[in-house]
Chains A and B, each alone.
Chain A
């Protein structure tokens, strides 16, 4: 058990209880660790370090005023249980050897080198803020959005608050068949009374007047290669007011193909087969009979071009290559057959993956894989620099994947501390050095208790609207609220 405030020098002060200054011998051995990014990776890395080292102090930096990263901005508004991790993150942030500094953009307000001067170890956990590009003509037409931006929009991510997606199209095409694709389809089709969640007021109003009636999820490969998981698919199959459109031809012969496949893939495929081929049960039959909205899966289609309206400004449809599979299982590849298909639609969401961005010249970056080159979380060639989460492994996986990965990086830091590789006897000032740098650049960090004020305001505003919270989407408004 780590007692709170252990030892007489727990706050790094030199005075002993007897009132005279003691040599700083113990505080010299306090590892000061900095974490860049306050999403699950940042917090789980912090948690593991604090738990397994009795002296280490951890500072978490975040570019937005508010913490929690994708837990706040990525997890769908109708999945509040997934956000329960915020409780454990809050405990971590409130613990005495941890500090949170929001509104500080590493790479701009303070450099990685400056952080390395101030801290014994720096862990980069800043995730994947961009998305993969389709790389096809028409991608930048009006009516085409990345799913990442769309999710950011309904989740109140400040940079996406002015997205204003055009929801007047009856048919929406989502390119990609992962959980994010299912999320955006579900949010577009869920009955409004079930959306009284922490979805933003602005996006809820837009969805309320949406004309969207049908959403297709389009994948280059087949049913055995879908990236979404069974819980999310089941949710879609049971969505009130909506009916699935699955082409039985896509599922012919699949039961045999999955006989010896691992259970997770088997059950997922069985659910698709059942939905496509079997007569629905009583409950489903009722929902589907009165459904006014539809969703479906299209397989073996690879986008070639997004087709413009006559004035060349907006998307009106998509041309896709019909593909066939070479190989099987997870590593099957889609090969064009020469056939082509066109579909009419006015709204296209590209959901083909998030993407990390390089931080600066002092941090190596593998552009091909979109990650910081590392071994077990130790950044290659840069002692004292580590990474965890999506920027370390790539932008896939759920919270548990990131949790385990972050514990693993923390383990590397702890090993290096134990082996004397981080020279903790060389005193570092941590935030004390960074404070003056930020001041000179006119940057005012947001503390965790500042966040708690913003949090309280959001919850109070939400109560008026019968929602768990009403997210503030303007960073300036957040800063004004806390008196910055």
Chain B
């Protein structure tokens, strides 16, 4: 699992909207007012490993990044909390004001995702490299059936050049 350091995936916890409320609660931006509220530490303490979901991300350069999240975390949460090295992911911090968390899903997973809202589709419409199985990561919350799924980070520009990375020791 590649880490990205200070300058990697971008959202700060404080301003991210809490999207994936406990079952039964309303979802989406409209349900959240003000700064994000995280589950209290005590609420999380009793959760067992059965609540963990593994997700594989195929990065733009073909690298496979594997991360773990808890049921209820959004895919944006997973990328940020695991400090995954995906350039520019989550610019608006989960508030449906950009399309930088655009991800491509496998067919069988895509079919089982919760229906897309107008608000999500409005932003998805502006995403580069839109596909039939595209969604915004900040709107997809982890469920058990997603365990070990693979999502793809779409290309961001028209001409793909070999990525240069001089951040590691040569």
The chain A residues found within 8 Å of chain B, CB to CB, are 1-4, 44, 47-48, 50-55, 79, 81-82, 84-85, 87-88, 91-92, 95, 229-231, 234, 263-264, 267-268, 376, 398-400, 403-405, 407-408, 411, 414-415, 417-418
Contact = CB atoms under 8 A, between A and B. Distances in A.
B5 A3 contact: yes
Contacts of B168: 54
Contacts of A85: 10, 91-92
A457 B31 CA distance: 32
A234 to B, nearest CB: 7
Nearest to A79: B97
Contacts of B128: 400, 404
B93 interface: yes
A4 B5 CA distance: 9
A232 to B, nearest CB: 9
A95 B164 contact: no
Nearest to A267: B125
A47 B89 CA distance: 13
Contacts of B121: 267
B48 interface: no
B92 A82 contact: yes
Contacts of A417: 166
Contacts of A399: 91, 98
Interface in B128-170: 128, 130, 156-157, 161, 163-169
Contact of B88 (A53, A229, A230, A407): A407
Interface string B8-38: 1011100100000000000000000000000
A477 B95 CA distance: 34
B58 interface: no
B92 A2 contact: no
Q: Is the interface of A mostly helix, strand, loop or mixed?
A: helix
Contacts of A55: 166
Given A2-B167, A87-B15, A95 B125 contact: no
Contacts, number: 120
Contacts of B6: 2, 4, 91, 95
A194 to B, nearest CB: 14
Interface of B: 3-8, 10-12, 15, 87-88, 91-93, 95-100, 118-119, 121-123, 125-128, 130, 156-157, 161, 163-169
A87 B10 CA distance: 8
B97 A82 contact: yes
Given A1-B4, A404-B157, A411 B164 contact: yes
B122 A230 contact: yes
A400 B125 CA distance: 13
A279 B156 CA distance: 40
Given A79-B97, A84-B97, A85-B91, A408 B157 contact: yes
Nearest to B166: A53
Nearest to B6: A95
Contact of A84 (B92, B163, B164): B92
B167 A54 contact: yes
Given A54-B168, A231-B122, A264-B126, A95 B7 contact: yes
A231 B123 contact: yes
B169 to A, nearest CB: 8
B77 to A, nearest CB: 15
A47 B126 CA distance: 23
A55 B8 CA distance: 16
B125 A88 contact: no
B167 A404 contact: no
A197 to B, nearest CB: 15
Contacts of A79: 97
Nearest to A414: B164
Given A87-B15, A95-B6, A44 B167 contact: no
Given A84-B95, A87-B93, A52 B125 contact: no
Contacts of B165: 52, 414
A82 B126 contact: no
Contacts of B96: 81
Contact of A2 (B7, B91, B130, B156): B7
A234 B93 contact: no
B88 A92 contact: no
B116 to A, nearest CB: 12
Contacts of A398: 98, 126
Contacts of A1: 3-5
B29 to A, nearest CB: 8
